[in-house]
């Protein structure tokens, strides 16, 4: 079984994340959307809300699983028997950052990182921009799935 882990904080899930997940679905038998937890990080949305956003967005899609983890992503991948980490790339800065992590992960394990370029119409969307719009009472309906709007 080709299983990929798509790790992130998903605070919140954006249309950029959704673009990557949707386009990866034909490539894998299962995609685990793995919400990394970090007790020292301040999240806008609770873990329960973030899980609900993802589950509601992918309700009925059997290939999608949602889970949480702490620690190294490669340790989580080993735990769930995944040989692949899925990552999205928006720009050259993302590539440089993700490349270093992918090389490190590959050196420490046999887990491959699969990169997908975001679509042109979602490449500018980031969770941090969405959070900033929300903090300032702006409309994020063009940037997030409907499930996030029903928070």
Q: What is the pLDDT of residue 151?
A: 58
Q: Annotated catalytic residue: which of 40, 41, 59, 128? A: 41
The structure's pTM equals 0.94
Q: Annotated catalytic residue: which of 18, 50, 87, 127? A: 127
Q: What is the pLDDT of residue 150?
A: 77
- φ/ψ of 65, rounded to 5, equals -120, 150
146 in active site: no
Give 10-residue mean pLDDT values along the chain (151 residues).
96 97 98 90 94 98 97 97 96 89 94 95 93 95 93 58
17 in active site: yes
Architecture, CATH, for domain 3-149: 3-Layer(aba) Sandwich (3.40)
pLDDT tens for 72-82 read: 999 999 999 99
Q: Annotated catalytic residue: which of 17, 18, 50, 87? A: 17
127 in active site: yes
For 40-71, b/e burial (b = at least 16 CB within 10 A) is eeebbbeeebbbbbbeebbeeeebbbbeebee
Q: Annotated catalytic residue: which of 55, 90, 99, 131? A: 90
Q: What is the pLDDT of residue 107?
A: 94
Beta-ladder partners of 4? 31, 84
């Amino acid at each position: 079984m080709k299983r990929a882990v798509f790790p992130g904080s998903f605070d919140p899930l954006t249309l950029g994340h959704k673009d990557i997940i949707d386009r990866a679905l034909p490539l894998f038998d299962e995609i685990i959307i793995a919400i990394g937890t970090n007790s020292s990080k301040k999240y806008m949305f609770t873990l329960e809300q973030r899980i609900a956003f993802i589950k509601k967005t992918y309700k009925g899609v059997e290939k999608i699983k949602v889970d949480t983890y702490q620690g190294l992503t490669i340790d989580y991948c080993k735990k769930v028997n995944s040989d692949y980490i899925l990552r999205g790339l928006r720009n050259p800065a993302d590539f440089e950052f993700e490349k270093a992590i992918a090389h490190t992960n590959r050196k420490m394990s046999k887990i491959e990182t699969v990169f997908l370029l975001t679509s042109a119409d979602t490449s500018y969307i980031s969770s941090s921009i969405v959070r900033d719009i929300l903090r300032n009472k702006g409309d994020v309906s063009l940037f997030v799935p409907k499930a996030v709007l029903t928070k």
